[in-house]
Chains A and B, each alone.
Chain A
């Protein structure tokens, strides 16, 4: 080990020896510009900032009114009816979200392959990506108002389809990214057996990408439940439609019950779906390596 010890001792600070700090003008101007933009926005936006101080009080009143509804005996009239009505609409919202996700999954599946650079030729990738970009740029609310409601009329079908088309944009994009991240070596091995292109995709690419893609579908289902609640406000079915009616009539106790159900069901489904997603990605059973690590821990 001759190399150790042959290095001469550090010479100590000699002028011009130590590197100088680079000029920080970029960071400084960046921070200044950001600060100016923030101040400008706060000043020019037409908001009554003074009302912000009244907000906690008002919110408190509404919360008290709403909790009163939730705390009433649900077995007594008319609260039984309130709970069951809210539950009925919540189930409709879930159905909308589920159908919407299915539609999105089916439509986005081929789109994801067409948009993946390691699978499709460049022009196809370009065109597919642009279509997906356009879909992603349109909020579900606009899809529902401008396209689905005029065609399918008021009701949950319009909402479900708006969610479905909206899902294609994100699912197609994220799915194509999963496909592009696939390990190319097994794919090469399948191609080397002389398999046809479609077989290479089905057995080299798909088994690697499918767990992540299914997890994306479930994640989108969680998003669609929340998005669906908003769609009801424009008459596209689900829990949102009853909520708007209640707000118009200012029936605070019923609003409380309905919101409580929305939150409870959403949290429950989120938790369930997240668990299934993790299980899918980690795979069933224990990996030998993971098992070993656990044994050591």
Chain B
């Protein structure tokens, strides 16, 4: 359960990220946030685990206040909220397994500082890799994997945290359309299996419609649409993007139609 109550975020540069957002996301829901670049999608997602500090308003995750949380409180909160990034953000010089085990750092004793993990932690990591279908890559250096595989490792790293909430900031924007579809399908499948509350930012409206329970449209730091994926039509699209739908807005558009 994630609750925003009139949340404002203003960056040190004066840019407004969020401008009075109120939103309630119940347990186990898969929400996709859409909007133009700079609409505040990233800010919305990054506020949930405190990567971006809230300027005013209240933000709660599973009953725990995020605004104002620091030190140990913030760390415990982050341990329960996994995050997936556009650029995968793996440590590419170490193995896939080591990357996934980083999801266990907040749960394991000091020995993990030196890469020593218990058998239980390792089993959790292997299970996470198995769920995204790349168990066989466990001992491969992360730099050797393709983009789609790297993002699956990042999903496994999040699963290893055994979180109640997962955030994904443009998780497939660096991938080609078929791979983007496959990675989204993986994310959606494990989300259903484990019942994790998930908030995802997406560029492409067709991906959003085919995977989301609910779509939130943002424009200039405000929520301009909030409803089930089925309700999104061309009129809603115009209200979010300020123009009508074109071929550039769907991931499956063929190249020759764009040129």
Chain B residues near A203: list those with CB within 8 A: 91, 94, 98, 102, 105
Cβ-based interface call for A283 (8 A): yes
In the complex, per-residue mask of B62-83: 1 if CB is within 8 Å of any chain A CB, else 0: 0000000000001111111111
With A and B bound together, what is the CA distance between A32 and B77 in angstroms? Answer: 65
Chain B residues near A194: list those with CB within 8 A: 74-81, 105-106, 161
Chain B residues near A185: list those with CB within 8 A: 85, 87, 89
Chain A: interface secondary structure?
helix
With A and B bound together, what is the CA distance between A273 and B91 in angstroms? Answer: 27
Closest Cβ–Cβ distance, residue B75 to chain A (whole Å) = 5
B76 touches A186 (CB 8 A): no
Cβ-based interface call for A195 (8 A): yes
A193 touches B161 (CB 8 A): yes
Cβ-based interface call for B51 (8 A): yes
B89 touches A189 (CB 8 A): yes
Cβ-based interface call for A190 (8 A): yes
**Interchain pairs with CB closer than 8 A, number:** 83
Cβ-based interface call for B119 (8 A): no
Given A193-B82, A203-B105, A188-B51 contact (CB < 8 Å) = yes
B85 touches A283 (CB 8 A): no
A207 touches B91 (CB 8 A): yes
With A and B bound together, what is the CA distance between A196 and B54 in angstroms? Answer: 22
B51 touches A193 (CB 8 A): no
Chain A residues near B79: list those with CB within 8 A: 193-194
Chain B residues near A186: list those with CB within 8 A: 89-92
A287 touches B102 (CB 8 A): no
Interfacial residues, chain A to chain B (CB-CB below 8 A): 185-186, 188-196, 198-199, 202-204, 207-208, 211, 283, 285, 287-288
Instruction: List 13 extra interface pairs beyond A193-B103, A204-B102, CB under 8 A.
Output: A186-B92, A189-B83, A190-B105, A192-B81, A193-B161, A194-B79, A194-B106, A196-B106, A199-B105, A199-B112, A199-B113, A283-B141, A287-B143
